[in-house]
Amino acid sequence: MRFLPVLRKLAQAYQSFEHYSASHLKSIGLTMTQFDIIATLGNQPPMTCKELGEKTLVTKGTLTGVLERLEGKGIIRRETNREDARSQMVSLTQDGQQLFEKVFPEHVTYLGRAFCKLTAREVEELSGSLEKLRSIF
């Protein structure tokens, strides 16, 4: 049971990150989920909803609603997949790409203000530890 304090710290760290990140995204008019989708689609060719779900942290049930709202705002477009008419291809519109080009570097800079408090070695160690933790599950 010595892992229980680690789980608590992991959850607290994620909650702190989410609060820090979400407050900035809210100030620029986006949710974490919307940003995740826009960031994933930015500078990329169209992808299926399945691919988008796999590349983001968005569950299938949530993805549908968020895509509908982003499409309604003119940020993304969904078109029938020419290779498989049962699926749709999702991409950013021109307005969506412009939004990506504005908010992505802005948010990365914002996150960088927190991460710059760590040394390069600490970042590398954290990355290794998190990858090791992910791999055991």
| pTM greater than the 0.85 cutoff | yes
Q: Tell me if 73 is assigned to some domain.
A: yes
Write out the residue range of the structural domain in which residue 48 sits.
30-136
Dihedral of the alpha carbons of 27, 29, 34, 37, in degrees to the nearest 10:
-90
**What phi-psi label fits residue 73: left (phi over 0), alpha (psi between -120 and 50 degrees) or beta?**
alpha
53-87 pLDDT, tens digit each: 999 988 888 999 999 999 999 999 999 988 888 88
Query: Would you say residue 105 has pLDDT above 90?
Result: yes
Least confident of 31-40, 79-88, 112-121: 79-88
At position 24, the amino acid (one-letter code) is: H
Rounded mean pLDDT of the chain? 95
**Residue with the two structure tokens 């307005």:** 95
Residue 46 lies in a domain: yes
Query: Residue 120: pLDDT band by 50, 70, 90 thresholds?
Result: very high
Q: Select from 127, 46, 26 the least CA-distant residue to 88.
A: 46
Q: Is 13 within the bounds of a domain?
A: no
State the pLDDT at residue 60. 84
On whether residue 121 sits in a domain, the answer given is yes
If DSSP codes are grouped into helix, strand and coil, which group holds residue 30?
Answer: coil
